[in-house]
Structure formats: C-alpha cells, structure tokens
C-alpha cells in the first residue's frame, strides 16, 4: 500500500492566489500558506464592509480588497522563487 505524502507543494499559482483574493480578500493569503495574514484580511474586510454605511468604509473596503489581491499575487511569486518570509 502506497503512503500518501502530507507535505505541501511549494509551488503556488500567482493568478489563482489573485483570483481567490478577488473572491474573498484573504483567501489568496491562506492559499499561499500565510493563514494569519489571510485571517487578518478577512476580518479587516468584514469590518470595513460593516462600515460602508459611513462613507469612509467603502474606501477602506476597496483598498483592502485591492491590496489583498496584490499581496497574494506577490507572495505566490516569492514562494515560487524560493523566498519565504513567514
């Protein structure tokens, strides 16, 4: 009987990380293995979404959303180049 490997693959797809963060900010970070940062993005985005009744909430929400996509893409690129910082 063959044993299944539990070791995670080190290669990440930057476009997939970006799309996941587009769907839910923080999901791309979780995909990249940076769970704590991903959870912070999810919580921050939910808090900003709750503040959308106040005008500034929408800008915070949009800023977090765009930054989460950018961060997820760059982190996946760094992982693929062998640069890990977490």
b/e burial code for range 26-52 (CB count within 10 A of at least 16 → b): bbbbbbbbbeebbebbbebbeebbeee
What's the confidence (pLDDT) of residue 9?
A: 58
What's the confidence (pLDDT) of residue 69?
A: 94
Q: Name the pTM for this structure.
A: 0.70
In percent, the amount of the chain with pLDDT more than 90 equals 55
**Is pLDDT larger for residue 74 or for residue 49?**
74
Residue 2 has pLDDT above 60, yes or no: no
> What tens digit of pLDDT does each residue of 19-59 get?
999 999 999 999 999 999 999 999 999 888 888 777 777 88
**Contacts of residue 60, Cβ cutoff 8 Å, sequence gap at least 6:** 48, 51
Give the three-state DSSP class for 80: helix
CA 61, CA 58: separation in Å to the nearest integer? Answer: 5
């Amino acid at each position: 009987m063959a044993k299944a490997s539990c070791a995670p693959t080190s290669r990440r797809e930057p476009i997939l990380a970006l799309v996941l963060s587009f769907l839910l900010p923080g999901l791309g970070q979780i995909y990249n293995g940076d769970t704590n940062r991903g959870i912070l993005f999810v919580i921050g985005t939910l808090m900003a979404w709750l503040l959308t009744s106040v005008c500034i909430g929408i800008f915070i929400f949009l800023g977090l959303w765009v930054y989460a996509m950018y961060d997820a893409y760059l982190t996946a690129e760094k992982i693929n180049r062998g640069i890990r910082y977490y």
